[in-house]
């Protein structure tokens, strides 16, 4: 039944997207080109509605019976409504954040999915106490906005989200979590169908309707799929979402270093930096897909590694991220502490010979 549902979601997205495109032009849900954006023409930006409608078809077909399913669905409806209004009328960041907070609160409290404590790898545990609900909400809201932030090139957010969803589905299959497996796969298939119209050169954007929805679903499923109380299960979803999380983290660092407001828009995100280095639009998207896939593969390796092996994997990931950040100037062109240290050590060794 799941295979039939996946095909139905994929075909539904392909069939529904042209109708959503017409609707977007009709109600004024369009994206105007400006100096911050890559596209040069007016584009419809309601594509996420096609993904969501296909997702709902899949949900109707599989009919989950888990107690937390309805809070997840109600939260998704609030997220979609928030994104849809923003795509049509461009609401303020505060109003958009308010919608995300309400959606996260419903799914965390109503679905009882807050993480109350974690076991540490070398013994002991951390109790979150009264902070368990806000910390869980921050995770969902953070991932929601991380996906939204990378939605800057044709097919980028959709592809990265799909890779994350397929990784989560693979982990859920191994762990025997049927709900996360099914929802991740139907969301991924719905997104793949939409990508036929969204990959470069795009005919329609997913808009905040799609980016917020995908971020919300990825955030929620990563909680449901890895809601064990171990340090390892806490790190796995962070690795899976390595690309959007690191891009968001360094966007915050960049704005602090440059003394800019955290909400200030710029053209220095990962995809912007790769474009500046000479990669084409399509090459940049495919390169970030490859990065996302590598993070997904690393998450699988990490989940089966020993504690010391896990620590080595984390260290390797952090070094690799830092090198890439410095190479492409993700924080600032002159921000190269690790590369400078490497060059200094290299110079000393060469002189010592």
Summarised one tens digit per residue, pLDDT across range 303-351 is 777 777 878 888 888 888 888 888 888 877 777 888 888 788 778 877 7
Q: Flag whether pLDDT at 39 surpasses 60.
A: no
Question: What residue segments make up the domains of the chain, in order of their start?
Answer: 2-352
255 CB contacts (<8 Å, ≥6 apart)?
261, 262, 264, 266
Of the candidates 157, 337, 170, 169, which has an alpha carbon nearest to the alpha carbon of residue 247?
157
Residues 90-112 pLDDT 10s = 888 899 999 999 999 999 988 77
Q: Flag whether pLDDT at 33 surpasses 80.
A: no
**What residue numbers does the annotated binding site cover?**
148, 208
Interstrand relation of 30-31 and 43-44 (parallel, antiparallel or unpaired): antiparallel
Tell me, what's the pLDDT at 227?
A: 65
Cβ contact 37:24 at 8 Å: no
Residue that the structure tokens 């960041």 belong to: 93
Query: DSSP 3-state assignment of 241?
Result: coil
Tell me, what's the pLDDT at 38?
A: 56
| Confidence label for 286 from pLDDT (cuts 50, 70 and 90) | very high
| Confidence label for 13 from pLDDT (cuts 50, 70 and 90) | very high
Tell me, what's the pLDDT at 260?
A: 74
* Mean pLDDT of the 222-234 span: 69
Please tell me the distance from the alpha carbon of residue 225 to that of residue 240, in angstroms, as a whole number.
12
Pinpoint the alpha helices (H) of 258-306: 270-276, 281-304
**What residue numbers does the annotated binding site for Mg(2+) cover?**
148, 208
């Amino acid at each position: 039944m799941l295979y039939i549902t996946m095909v139905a979601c994929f075909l539904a997205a392909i069939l529904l997207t042209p109708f959503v495109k017409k609707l977007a032009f009709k109600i004024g849900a369009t994206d105007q080109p400006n100096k911050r954006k890559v596209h040069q023409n007016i584009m419809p930006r309601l594509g996420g509605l096609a993904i969501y409608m296909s997702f709902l078809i899949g949900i109707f077909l599989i009919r989950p019976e888990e107690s937390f399913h309805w809070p997840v669905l109600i939260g998704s409806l609030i997220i979609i409504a928030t994104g849809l209004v923003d795509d049509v009328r461009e609401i303020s960041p505060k109003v958009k954040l308010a919608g995300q907070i309400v959606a996260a609160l419903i799914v965390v409290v109503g679905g009882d999915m807050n993480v109350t404590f974690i076991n540490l790898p070398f013994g002991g545990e951390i109790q979150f106490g009264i902070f368990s609900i806000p910390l869980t909400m921050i995770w969902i809201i953070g991932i929601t906005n991380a996906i939204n932030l990378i939605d800057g090139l044709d097919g980028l957010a959709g592809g990265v989200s799909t890779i994350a969803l397929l990784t989560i589905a693979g982990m859920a299959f191994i762990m025997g979590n049927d709900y996360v497996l099914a929802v991740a796969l139907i969301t991924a298939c719905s997104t793949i169908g939409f990508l036929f119209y969204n990959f470069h050169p795009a005919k329609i954007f997913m808009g905040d309707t799609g980016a917020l929805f995908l971020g919300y679903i990825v955030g929620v499923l990563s909680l449901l799929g890895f809601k064990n109380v171990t340090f390892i299960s806490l790190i796995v979803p962070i690795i899976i979402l390595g690309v959007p999380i690191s891009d968001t983290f360094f966007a915050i660092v960049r704005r602090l270093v440059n003394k800019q407001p955290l909400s200030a828009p710029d053209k220095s995100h990962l995809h912007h930096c790769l474009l500046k280095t000479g990669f084409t639009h399509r090459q940049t998207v495919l390169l970030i897909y490859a990065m996302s896939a590598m993070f997904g593969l690393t998450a699988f390796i990490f989940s089966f590694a020993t504690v010391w092996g896990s620590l080595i994997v984390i260290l390797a990931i952090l070094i690799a991220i830092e090198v890439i950040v410095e190479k492409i100037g993700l924080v600032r062109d002159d921000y190269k502490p690790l590369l400078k240290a490497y060059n200094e050590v290299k110079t000393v060794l060469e002189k010592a010979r």
